[in-house]
């Protein structure tokens, strides 16, 4: 029930003036490049200036949290978007990389009070990854950028810690 007394706060998707950092990992780069294209498409279509985007490449998803933390601590950005592709192999390696990357990104976000968006695919096979990188299931890079815009604008309203 909305009695018109409720205060509702939400972030818009307006990107004008926002400074965005993207951390992308080279492992499975052929997929991650598609996520990056999707993310840039979203940012530019929502009025983020190309000059206000910084792109940082890291070797693999495991290294994403460290780079994201450095970018967050620089206080130069309204949001950090993390893009990577982790595909299950024959060993438990996938599990360790996926788990540490996920935990790491979440930690960086909370430690820095900044939107740090999880645009990392974790899939059972290459087909699932392709489906999420601009084919059957959309483009998760585009979705990640949307989340970054919404959260950056939301944090402008609720993000100040006393
Ligand atoms: N890194 C990925 O981004 N995706 C993977 O699927 C992957 N697998 O499966 O091994 C992967 N491994 C590399 C890892 O991220 C680190 O770069 C490496 O362990 C060095 O620290």
Determine the atom of ligand 1 nearest the C-alpha atom of 26.
3
Does 80 score more than 50 pLDDT? yes
Return the CA Rg of the chain. 16
How remote is the C-alpha of 122 from its chain's centroid?
Answer: 14
The residue nearest atom 9 of ligand 1, judged by CA position, is 94
- What is the pLDDT at residue 30? 97
User: Which protein residues touch ligand 1 with a CB less than 6 Å away?
Assistant: 25, 27-28, 59-63, 84-87, 89, 93-94, 97
The Cα–Cα gap between 18 and 7 comes to 25
- What is the pLDDT at residue 81? 99
Count Cβ atoms below 10 Å from residue 76 Cβ, excluding itself.
10
Contacts of 81 (CB under 8 A, 6+ apart): 20, 21, 22, 23, 39, 117, 119, 141, 144, 145, 148
119-134: per-residue pLDDT in tens? 999 999 999 999 999 9
Bridge pairing between strands 20-25 and 53-58: parallel
Does 143 score more than 70 pLDDT? yes
Which pLDDT band holds residue 162 (cuts at 50, 70, 90)?
Answer: very low
| Cut 0.75: pTM above it | yes
For residue 93, indicate whether it is catalytic.
yes
Burial class of residue 114 in the structure, from the number of CB atoms within 10 Å of its CB (0-12 exposed, 13-18 middle, 19+ buried): buried
- The catalytically annotated residue of 45, 93, 103, 156 is 93
- What is the pLDDT at residue 159? 84
Determine the atom of ligand 1 nearest the C-alpha atom of 101.
15
Helices (DSSP H) in 46-92: which residue ranges? 64-73
82-117: per-residue pLDDT in tens? 999 999 998 999 999 999 999 999 999 999 999 999
Q: What average pLDDT score do residues 152-158 get? A: 96
Which pLDDT band holds residue 161 (cuts at 50, 70, 90)?
Answer: low
Bridge pairing between strands 133-135 and 116-123: unpaired
- What is the pLDDT at residue 1? 59
13-48: per-residue pLDDT in tens? 999 999 999 999 999 999 999 999 999 999 999 999
Which of 86, 87, 126, 132 for mutating ligand 1's site (highest number of atoms within 8 Å of CB)? Answer: 86
């Amino acid at each position: 029930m909305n009695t018109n007394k409720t205060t509702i706060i939400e972030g818009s998707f307006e990107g004008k003036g926002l400074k965005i950092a993207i951390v992308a990992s080279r492992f499975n780069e052929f997929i991650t490049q598609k996520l990056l294209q999707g993310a840039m498409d979203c940012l530019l279509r929502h009025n983020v200036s190309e000059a206000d985007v910084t792109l940082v490449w890291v070797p693999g998803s495991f290294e994403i949290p460290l780079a994201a933390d450095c970018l967050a601590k620089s206080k130069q950005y309204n949001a950090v978007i993390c893009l990577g592709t982790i595909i299950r192999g024959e060993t438990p390696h996938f599990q360790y990389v996926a788990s540490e990357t996920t935990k790491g990104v979440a930690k960086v976000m909370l430690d820095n009070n900044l939107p740090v968006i999880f645009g990392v695919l974790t899939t059972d096979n290459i087909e699932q990854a392709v489906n999420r990188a601009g084919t059957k299931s959309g483009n998760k890079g585009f979705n990640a950028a949307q989340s970054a815009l919404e959260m950056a604008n939301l944090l402008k309203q609720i993000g100040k810690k006393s």
